[in-house]
Structure 1
């Protein structure tokens, strides 16, 4: 993939670049970008942003590198998806890992399980019993969203209310903001503005 992309760039055919799986590649030059190079997906197109001063050879080199990077990132995301905790035991083990990583291991649930009867919540916790339940509607969602909901419920084992102390616990997780926005979007799309599942 990357080799053919770089060759095409060297030949000055940047607007005809494609990845090995047929996705178009667009090179964007920016006068404001002086040294850094970025790569990202935009509506199914691989976009490579480079400094305007780059020569054709530099463009070819960086397109080669960055398309390969996008490919590796895609492989990692796919692998992460395959490693999603499918069973209750795997979910409990994953919860322990998240607690150790983001909550200092202080949240120690007695049980963590998937449930199919939660239609108004993404997850729920019972601090007095130390139990956590996640809606199986989360299963097809990105892992970083599932992790947010699981961390949300783990935090409830430490702080029951949605107060400042509770949200402070979630500051360490880098995807808290976008996960909340993602779930709000899903709820809106599902209910067309009506209240959807939530974390509690």
Structure 2
């Protein structure tokens, strides 16, 4: 499911979401912090719970006003993971992944990148994707499974571009200019990496 079409709040049931809408908007502090495509809104009416939802090109994370900056960053990572899991409940198989790569190559690279194989792997925990130009093979980390589709498409395009240009010089990045969500996808992945480096917090509790 595309990232922009998720209507509910992560960590809440539809009934609780409806109840929240009936109560009206929560009281918020004047400042809302924004990092890349993530906006954090603090509420004095929220004591223990954290929730998140998509709003256009942004992810809105609602947290208690008393939270520290460090806690805020930890919870942003937790809620991004929750939303990503909700948005992509179906794992794309290797065959569908190869079809997706062929479509993206045709749409953004003029069909010039033609991988011999595209598959998921479970041994890439420090890289989102890799390719071997000599073999024409592309491998994507299983950690991408469950992330928004535009993020998966960006990583696929990134590796497809490497079949044409090996390094990360200006010529390589020009190949990705046609994809409109490059910066958004990079920001999302950078946020996931930053969250992974923070100490783990318990899962959010519902009201």
TM-score tier (shorter) = 0.5 to 0.7
Residue matched to 1:140:
146
Residue from 181, 186, 189 that aligns with 2:195: 189
* Residues 5-154 of structure 1 aligned to structure 2 (within 5 Å): 21-22=18-19, 24=21, 81=88, 86-154=92-160
CA separation in 2, counterparts of 1:46 and 1:110?
36
* Bigger-Rg structure (1/2): 1
Q: How many residues align?
A: 131
CA contact (8 A) 1:23 1:45 kept: no
Structure 2: gaps of 5 or more residues: 1-16, 26-40, 42-50, 56-86, 200-207
Higher helix share: 1
Output one character per residue of 1:58-111: Cα deviation in whole Å (capped at 9) or x when no partner.
Answer: xxxxxxxxxxxxxxxxxxxxxx846x6621011000100111111111100000
CA separation in 2, counterparts of 1:109 and 1:85?
21
CA separation in 2, counterparts of 1:129 and 1:44?
42
Measured at CA, do residues 46 and 166 of structure 1 come closer, stay the same or move farther in structure 2, by a change above 3 Å?
closer
**Which consecutive aligned stretches of 4+ in structure 1 deviate over 3 angstroms post-superposition?**
20-23, 42-47
CA separation in 2, counterparts of 1:45 and 1:167?
31
Measured at CA, do residues 172 and 117 of structure 1 come closer, stay the same or move farther in structure 2, by a change above 3 Å?
same
Alignment TM-score, normalising by the size of structure 1: 0.57
Structure 1: gaps of 5 or more residues: 1-19, 27-41, 48-79, 194-200
Identify which of structures 1 and 2 has the higher relative contact order when contacts are C-alpha pairs closer than 8 Å and 6+ apart.
2
CA contact (8 A) 2:88 2:145 kept: no
Root-mean-square deviation (CA, aligned residues, Å) is: 3.1
Specify the SS of the correspondent of 1:157. Answer: helix
Cα displacement (A) at 1:23: 5.5
Output one character per residue of 1:125-173: Cα deviation in whole Å (capped at 9) or x when no partner.
Answer: 1111110000000001111001100100000000000000000000011
